[in-house]
Amino acid sequence: MITLLDKLGEVEKPACDIFGCTVVNTLSCLGKCGKDRSLREHYNHFSINIDSSTNVQSSLANYFKPTEDILHSTCETCGHGESRQSIRCGKWPSVLLLQLNRFSYDCNGNLANKDCSNMFVPFILETGRRSKDPRKYKLSGMIEHFGKGISSGHYTAKVRRKDTWFNCNDSLIDEIHNIDRSSGFYSVGAYILIYNLED
């Protein structure tokens, strides 16, 4: 699905308008000039790591966390060779797609492992204090993957229609009961999450 959206983003403006988001990468010189150099990158989704968190809210916050690492990059102004990297969202989309990085690969590009952590997927997702432009999103659907490999296993989906949730499993569509609507889902298979911007 993500690949399809990337393809659509190349040729169809509406896909960019709906899902398009911008990430701003900034290198701050650690020399005497202290100047920032920024690069804007455009995406149709965010791929976020889950290895240090079991909560999607925290995983998204970690995605935009300034790195403590010192990068070796020569400053164009003062020639200093070290800088620090930070990342922030420059433009939030009207529909936020998050892909959880459950799959890891070896140096040959072969699937090495799948992380089956039980993730908490909140119904309401907030972009947090680090954002200059904080937003609130509401979960409208999620695709889950069950099985070991990305090209095998089984995909299902949870879909919200107004305030009623349904589980879609091939031809079986069942209403999900006993949901705490102020909370969220726990899922070992949550893979792609779809959040709509709240007004």
Choose the stretch contacting Zn ion; rule: CB under 5 A; options: 2-10, 32-40, 58-66, 120-128. Answer: 32-40
Cα distance between residue 195 and residue 99, in whole Å: 11
Q: Is 31 in the site for Zn ion (CB under 5 A)?
A: yes
* CB of 35 or CB of 135, closer to Zn ion: 35
Q: What are phi and psi of 21, to 5 degrees?
A: -140, 160
Q: Longest Cα pair distance anywhere in the chain, in angstroms?
A: 64
* CB of 32 or CB of 154, closer to Zn ion: 32
With beta carbons less than 8 A apart as the criterion, state whether 168 and 157 touch.
yes
Of 68-97, binders to Zn ion (CB under 5 A) are 75, 77-78, 80
With beta carbons less than 8 A apart as the criterion, state whether 160 and 176 touch.
no
* Runs of H (alpha helix) within 50-183: 56-63
Choose the stretch contacting Zn ion; rule: CB under 5 A; options: 24-32, 37-45, 46-54, 93-101. Answer: 24-32
Q: Is 143 in the site for Zn ion (CB under 5 A)?
A: no
* CB of 29 or CB of 97, closer to Zn ion: 29
* CB of 75 or CB of 142, closer to Zn ion: 75
**Which residues make beta-bridge pairs with 53?**
none
Question: Coil, helix or strand for 27?
Answer: strand
With beta carbons less than 8 A apart as the criterion, state whether 89 and 22 touch.
yes
* Runs of H (alpha helix) within the chain: 2-11, 13-19, 56-63
* CB of 72 or CB of 162, closer to Zn ion: 72
Q: Is 33 in the site for Zn ion (CB under 5 A)?
A: yes
| Distance of closest approach, residue 78 Cβ to Zn ion, in angstroms | 3
| Distance of closest approach, residue 85 Cβ to Zn ion, in angstroms | 14
* CB of 34 or CB of 153, closer to Zn ion: 34
The binder of Zn ion chosen from 16, 27, 29, 194 (CB under 5 A) = 29
Tokens representing 195 are 């959040």
Q: Which residues bind Zn ion (CB under 5 A)?
A: 29, 31, 33, 75, 77-78, 80
